[in-house]
Amino acid sequence: MTKSLNAIAQKLMEPGKGILAADESEGTIGKRFAKINLPNTLDLRRDYREMLFGASEAMRNYISGVILTEETLKQEAADGTPFRAILADTDCVPGIKVDRGAFPMPGEGGEKITEGLDGLRQRLAHYAELGAGFAKWRAVITINDIAPTRNNIRANAHALARYAMLCQEAGIVPIVEPEVVGDGEPGNHSMERCAQVTGDVLENVFKELRLAGVDLAGMLLKPNMILPGINSRERPGFEDVARRTVDVLREHVPAAVPGIAFLSGGQTDEEATAHLSAMNRIPNKPWPLTFSYGRALQNVALRTWAGRRENFAAARQAFAHRAHMNSLAALGEWSN
């Protein structure tokens, strides 16, 4: 079991490849569609994902795994081909987002706690039967004058650990995602505050993972980078972000973890690529670093597609370009 979990994790971290996060909930994809004036219909969600997964060359060359929603895991392309078969064709591991979203936590800080543990063992067994090799659970950590509270960090870390142990029991690699949010409100915190909170969160997450008996060699970490809040006036250079992020990770992430795949968290496409590349140019890190981007891989492709199947080829080209740039970044070889 341990060996096969580690083998899946290694495959997801194949050099020069990363993960496509295409697990936007129905609500989230609806917001993305609304920005380009599209209604949130089942057919359009299907078409959009079909456009991405059918970008065969990009998927084969740059993408190791795709995070899906339950709807997408079971869905078929317009011609009846299951998405799982399309992903298998390009050797991409199908993954599944299993949390049920982040909900308000009682208290003054506007904090969130991720739900979805009830019935998770049964759902995971079902997803494993459907071929899911890995899963994702996102904890949301808020920064403001009050937040994060110790209680919120502990509750989210504990939920992540319970999720991770259930995944491993089902033979599924858990992606553990504690996101310290940089693009929320008020978003005026400093880079140093992000570093301090992220370090604290990671410390608590690994403490809970160890307590739960999670096999660190059979999981992946999906963290935020160390950045000032989106409304902060600080403008660190790519190398500063890279150095600070790697420093914090070195201090808090055990070397037994087989890989780290970052979220993009509202960075521009180019920033997300530049930061990853700069981190990969830093020598002697104990784990490989790659991308598990949603928006930073999809932004241009989404706009190019614009809801029309006749735009598939152009949208796929746009997606392939971002995937290629991030593949170079995963090797530390991107330059603008």
Please give the positions annotated as active site: 177, 222
CB atoms within 10 A of CB 270: 14
Min dist CB 137 to ligand 13P, Å, is 9
Min dist CB 50 to ligand 13P, Å, is 20
Question: Per-residue x/- marks for ligand 13P, 151-180, CB under 6 A?
Answer: --------------------------x---
Tell me whether residue 295 or residue 316 sits nearer to ligand 13P (CB atom).
Answer: 295
- Determine, following the binding rule CB under 6 A, whether residue 132 of this chain makes contact with ligand 13P: no
- Scanning 42-50, 107-115, 247-255, 261-269 for contacts with ligand 13P by CB under 6 A, the matching segment is 261-269
Min dist CB 239 to ligand 13P, Å, is 21
C-alpha to C-alpha distance for 241 and 192, rounded to whole angstroms:
11
List the structure tokens of 110.
């506007």
CA 93 from centroid of its chain's CA atoms: 14
Q: Are 123 and 102 in contact (CB under 8 A)?
A: no
C-alpha to C-alpha distance for 2 and 217, rounded to whole angstroms:
8
* Sites for ligand 13P among residues 277-306 (CB under 6 A): 293-296
Total residues at interface with ligand 13P (CB under 6 A) = 10
Min dist CB 78 to ligand 13P, Å, is 26
CB atoms within 10 A of CB 176: 28
C-alpha to C-alpha distance for 90 and 65, rounded to whole angstroms:
10
- Determine, following the binding rule CB under 6 A, whether residue 184 of this chain makes contact with ligand 13P: no
| Non-local CB neighbours of 80 within 8 Å, separated by 6+ positions | none
Tell me whether residue 122 or residue 295 sits nearer to ligand 13P (CB atom).
Answer: 295
- Determine, following the binding rule CB under 6 A, whether residue 49 of this chain makes contact with ligand 13P: no
Phi/psi for 290 (5° steps) reads: -140, -165
**Which residue spans within the chain are E strands per DSSP?**
18-21, 63-68, 93-97, 102-104, 112-114, 134-141, 173-180, 220-221, 260-262, 289-293
Name residue 296's amino acid.
A
- Determine, following the binding rule CB under 6 A, whether residue 265 of this chain makes contact with ligand 13P: yes
Q: Are 176 and 219 in contact (CB under 8 A)?
A: yes
Tell me whether residue 54 or residue 265 sits nearer to ligand 13P (CB atom).
Answer: 265
Min dist CB 138 to ligand 13P, Å, is 4
Tell me whether residue 158 or residue 295 sits nearer to ligand 13P (CB atom).
Answer: 295
Using CB positions, name the residue nearest to ligand 13P: 294
- Scanning 127-135, 205-213, 227-235, 260-268 for contacts with ligand 13P by CB under 6 A, the matching segment is 260-268
Q: Are 73 and 127 in contact (CB under 8 A)?
A: yes
Among 17, 45, 138, 244, binds ligand 13P (CB under 6 A): 138
Tell me whether residue 65 or residue 258 sits nearer to ligand 13P (CB atom).
Answer: 65
Torsional class of 72: left (φ above 0), alpha (ψ -120 to 50), beta (otherwise) = alpha
- Determine, following the binding rule CB under 6 A, whether residue 21 of this chain makes contact with ligand 13P: yes
Among 96, 176, 263, 289, binds ligand 13P (CB under 6 A): 263
Which positions touch ligand 13P (CB under 6 A)? 21, 138, 177, 263-265, 293-296
